[in-house]
Structure 1
Amino acid sequence: MTTLDDRPLTAAPPADLLRSTLRRHASGVTVITVPGPAGFTATSFTSVSLEPALVSFYLSATASAAPAVRAADAFTVHLLHRDQEALARQFARSGVDRFAGTRWRTGEHGTPVLDGVTAWLTARPVLFQAVGDHLLVVGEVIDAAADGGAPLVHHDGGFGGFAPAAAGSTTP
């Protein structure tokens, strides 16, 4: 295998090694929803561009929500609050009604909008790209709201919170 500039790539590490290494990376926890309703927990959410306002996420190409995501005209990303670990776990489960017992409303763009989250944004998909065994979805933001609060963070297989360093701290 080679890169675009024809330099050879070294063999990729086994999936287990990659998974155990990436567990050390702390990530914000989101729930992504699409009309249907369908939704799933994701830690792969990130901003892409400010002008235009673009965001992205990945999901497994074989995920139960993948067909609904591919068919959606819009998606909503919910940034979870520190006390929403149970919600994160519920939307990470397979084979269950992920919306059962969850408080939500249908948003202006037809997507489920969950109650009580730190912030949410709705985007319309502008790119679907197969990348390895995942689907990359890029969307242009069309609506957003933020209520604030401490975020839910995922690290090393568990959930926790985040507290900013004290002002004037020299720790990176």
Structure 2
Amino acid sequence: MNIIIFGPPLAGKGTQSKKIINDFNLTHLSTGDVLRNEKAKQSDLGLKAEEYSSKGLLVPDNLVMEIVESFYFNQKEKNNFLFDGYPRNIEQAEHLINFLEKDKNVIDLVIYLKVPKDVLLERAKIRAIEEDRKDDTNQNTVLTRIDEFVNLTAHAIDFIKKQGITTIEINGNQSVEEIYKIIYQKLNNLESEKS
């Protein structure tokens, strides 16, 4: 079972991902974590990525794609993934679908947490204080990240839907428990269908 979880910054993807991984025994492929690990290992890919991030630049698509693919193929158990933070745009979405296909694998479900912009900005203020997150204190930075999601990632979601991949849209402005109840039910049904 392979799943992608989408949502703008502060939509609660991380919280839901932890629950999904725990209950459905999936390998968490978070682009941010994978990039950090590669940098920490000082691998070739990690060093290349560091060249960009140290200058405050986004790591280019082709490098992110290479890192994600490398992580995927290095896992022993390659048929249960939760993709989080990837794909971010149409090119990455095409890449993901293509390399899974080469490995005779598919995306089974897309989860899209939808949250209004004003709620996200409010959450940023709270998280900045509660978790001492510097990146959340500046509303302009938060808005830039939200706009990037709307302008790039939302198109990737549409592209994936057009490939006929089942997508569930969930109102992310509910309690963690209510959201997870919907996700759990859907994944439980999916697991039953596949077994």
Which structure shows the higher helix fraction?
A: 2
Regarding TM over 0.5, the answer is no
TM-score, reference length from structure 1 = 0.25
Q: Which has the higher contact order (CA 8 A, sep 6+)?
A: 2
